[in-house]
């Protein structure tokens, strides 16, 4: 999985937001607000990653139980798929 081209993550006043640029504006109109761990996962998805790799990255970056990391990554990926932000 990888974030589609045309979506940028920005930090604004301590908040993480995703905006569409260029041709992606035709598909997605609005902003996505992310917390710190979601922004971390977004950055991981700027390169092609599997869910297992995302879980491993989350476990290495944050103090979280493996089961919770799997659940959180699964929920995050599902939301991105529903919004058609990953390929």
Give, for all 87 residues of the chain, the pLDDT tens digit.
999 999 999 999 999 999 999 999 988 888 899 999 999 999 999 999 999 999 999 999 999 999 999 999 999 999 999 999 999
- pLDDT given for residue 21 in this prediction: 93
In a domain, 11, yes or no: yes
In a domain, 87, yes or no: no
- pLDDT given for residue 27 in this prediction: 86
In a domain, 49, yes or no: yes
- pLDDT given for residue 60 in this prediction: 97
Q: Are strands 31-34 and 7-12 parallel, antiparallel or unpaired?
A: unpaired
- Identify the domain containing residue 58 by its residue range: 7-82
- pLDDT given for residue 43 in this prediction: 97
How far apart (Å, rounded) are the C-alpha atoms in residues 77 and 15? 20
In a domain, 2, yes or no: no
Q: How many domains does the chain have?
A: 1
Residue 37 forms beta bridges with which residues?
A: none
How far apart (Å, rounded) are the C-alpha atoms in residues 7 and 29? 11
In a domain, 46, yes or no: yes
């Amino acid at each position: 999985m990888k974030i589609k081209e045309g979506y940028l993550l920005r930090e604004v006043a301590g908040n993480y937001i995703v905006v569409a640029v260029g041709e992606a504006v035709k598909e997605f109109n609005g902003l996505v607000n992310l917390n710190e761990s979601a922004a971390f996962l977004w950055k991981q998805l700027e390169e092609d990653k599997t869910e297992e790799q995302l879980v491993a990255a989350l476990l290495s970056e944050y103090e979280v139980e493996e089961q919770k990391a799997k659940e959180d990554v699964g929920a995050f990926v599902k939301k991105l798929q529903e919004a058609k932000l990953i390929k």
